[in-house]
Chain A
Amino acid sequence: QSVLTQPPSASGTPGQRVTISCSGSSSNIGSNTVHWYQQLPGAAPKLLIYTNNQRPSGVPDRFSGSKSGTSASLAISGLQSEDEADYYCAAWDDSLNGLFGGGTKLTVL
């Protein structure tokens, strides 16, 4: 069981807005920034959001991140079929470990 808790699944129809939550504690999300990754089937994880709400160049502005206290969220607006993937939150823990959430499988209906 991961220290960072995510829902195992989420779904939405094309054009819809979906959110994925990530819950941690004071030693990780509460004291460090949160990052989000997208992993398409058969591919390596790709950085989607870093430092809570920053998008790397090339990531569409349909993707946004937020953080409050010991929780964070990833929002995807204007859902598209190519968004179907696994999504992971990540944060450094003050115990000197990197942490990933358990992952959320997003299905586009």
Chain B
Amino acid sequence: QVQLVQSGAEVKKPGASVKVSCKASGYTFSSYDINWVRRATGQGLEWMGWMNPNSGNTGYAQKFQGRVTMTRNTSISTAYMELSSLTSEDTAVYYCARVQGYSSAWYPDPWGQGTLVTVSS
């Protein structure tokens, strides 16, 4: 079955960077984009951006432009999301998700299990 498995929880200090991985299985990794979404405590879901595993092309939400980098290693079917200049407001659970397409075909499914990133001094 299609499955996305993420890396474990991280604790980072303010100003540091974090890199979360998302390993895909059960389908051809290069055939579907990966999106990243986060949920801060007490907040709703927030879309961060997309990455095409085949081309490496990316698109980021304006809020994260300049601070987020989405990459991939196709040889191990793994996507990565790196967020820099962390502040306490970046404390959240980060999810990767596969998407079918865009416009009316955009619906992330399935999702990884989530990675808790805690930013604390």
Q: What is A's interface to B at a CB cutoff of 8 Å?
A: 2, 32-33, 35, 37, 39, 44-47, 50-51, 56, 86, 88, 90-92, 94, 96-103
With A51-B104, A92-B103, A98-B35 in contact, is A44–B44 under 8 Å at CB? no
Q: Is B53 an interface residue (CB 8 A)?
A: no
Residues in chain B near residue A98, CB distance under 8 A: 35, 37, 47, 50, 61, 106, 108
Give the residues from 95 to 121 in chain B that come closer than 8 angstroms, CB to CB, to chain A. Answer: 95, 102-104, 106-114
User: Which one of B44, B59, B113 contacts A96 once the chains associate, using CB atoms below 8 Å?
Assistant: B59
Residues in chain A near residue B61, CB distance under 8 A: 97-98
User: Which one of A37, A51, A86, A97 contacts B47 once the chains associate, using CB atoms below 8 Å?
Assistant: A97
With A44-B114, A45-B95 in contact, is A100–B45 under 8 Å at CB? yes
User: Which one of B45, B50, B59, B102 contacts A45 once the chains associate, using CB atoms below 8 Å?
Assistant: B45
Nearest opposing residue in chain A for B35, CB measure: A98
- Top 10 nearest A-B pairs (CB, nearest first) are A98-B47, A103-B44, A92-B106, A100-B45, A47-B109, A35-B107, A33-B104, A44-B111, A102-B44, A50-B107
Q: Is B10 an interface residue (CB 8 A)?
A: no
A44-B113 in contact (CB<8A)? yes
Q: What are 14 pairs between A and B in contact, CB < 8 Å?
A: A35-B107, A44-B111, A45-B37, A45-B95, A45-B108, A47-B109, A51-B107, A86-B44, A88-B45, A91-B106, A92-B106, A94-B103, A103-B44, A103-B45
